[in-house]
Structure 1
Amino acid sequence: MSAPSVQLYTVRDAIAEDLQGAVARIAEIGFTKVEPYAFVERAAEFETAFAAAGVTAPSGHAPVIDAADPAVAFDAASRLGIGTVIDPFIPTDRWQTADDAARLAERVNELAVQAAASGLKFGYHNHNWEFSTHVDGRPIFELFVEQLSPEVVLEIDTFWSTVGGADTPAFLRSLGDRVQFLHIKDGIISGDIATALPSSESALVVPDALAQAFANQQPAGQGQVDIPAILAAAPHATRVVEFDGYSKEIFGGVAESYAWLAENDK
Structure 2
Amino acid sequence: MSSSPSVQLYSVRDAIAEDLSGSVARLAEIGFTKVEPYGFAERPTEIAAALTAAGVTAPSGHSAVIDADDSQRIFDAAKEVGLDTVIDPFIPSDRWQTADDVKAIAERVNVLAEQAAGHGLRFGYHNHQWEFTNKVDGRPVYDLFVELLSPEVVLELDTFWATVGGADTPAVLRSLGDRVQFLHIKDGKVSGDIATALPSSESALIVPEALAAAFENQTPAGQGDVDVKAILAAAPHALRVVEFDAYSGDVFQGIAASYAWLAENDTEATA
Q: Structure 2 length as normaliser, TM-score?
A: 0.98
Give the Cα separation in 2 of the matches to 1:211 and 1:245: 8
Summarize deviations over 1:235-261 as a string: whole Å, max 9, x none: 000000000000000000000000000
Paired position in structure 1 for 2:210: 209
Paired position in structure 1 for 2:123: 122
- Structure 1 residue 10, shift from structure 2 partner: 0.1
Paired position in structure 2 for 1:66: 67
RMSD value over aligned CA atoms? 0.4
Give the Cα separation in 1 of the matches to 2:171 and 2:197: 26
What does residue range 72-221 of structure 1 map to in structure 2 within 5 Å? Answer: 72-221=73-222
Give the Cα separation in 1 of the matches to 2:43 and 2:23: 14
Summarize deviations over 1:142-193 as a string: whole Å, max 9, x none: 0000000000000000000000000000000000000000000000000000
Give the Cα separation in 2 of the matches to 1:72 and 1:202: 20
Give the Cα separation in 1 of the matches to 2:261 and 2:141: 32
> 5+ residue gaps in structure 1?
none
Supply the AA of the counterpart residue of 2:174: R
Give the Cα separation in 1 of the matches to 2:218 and 2:69: 35
SS, match of residue 178 in structure 2? helix
- Structure 1 residue 48, shift from structure 2 partner: 1.0
Summarize deviations over 1:201-240 as a string: whole Å, max 9, x none: 0001111111000000000000000000000000000000
- Structure 1 residue 36, shift from structure 2 partner: 0.2
Give the Cα separation in 1 of the matches to 2:265 and 2:181: 19
Supply the AA of the counterpart residue of 2:99: A
Give the Cα separation in 1 of the matches to 2:74 and 2:157: 21
Paired position in structure 2 for 1:244: 245
SS, match of residue 40 in structure 2? coil
SS, match of residue 76 in structure 2? helix
Question: 2:231 matched to 1:230?
Answer: yes
Supply the AA of the counterpart residue of 1:7: Q
Give the Cα separation in 2 of the matches to 1:45 and 1:214: 29
SS, match of residue 241 in structure 2? strand
Give the Cα separation in 2 of the matches to 1:134 and 1:141: 9
Percent of aligned positions that are identical: 75
Give the Cα separation in 1 of the matches to 2:122 and 2:114: 8
SS, match of residue 245 in structure 1? coil
SS, match of residue 249 in structure 2? coil
- Structure 1 residue 45, shift from structure 2 partner: 1.1
Supply the AA of the counterpart residue of 2:183: L
Give the Cα separation in 2 of the matches to 1:177 and 1:155: 11
- Structure 1 residue 44, shift from structure 2 partner: 1.3
Give the Cα separation in 1 of the matches to 2:169 and 2:251: 26
Give the Cα separation in 2 of the matches to 1:25 and 1:135: 44
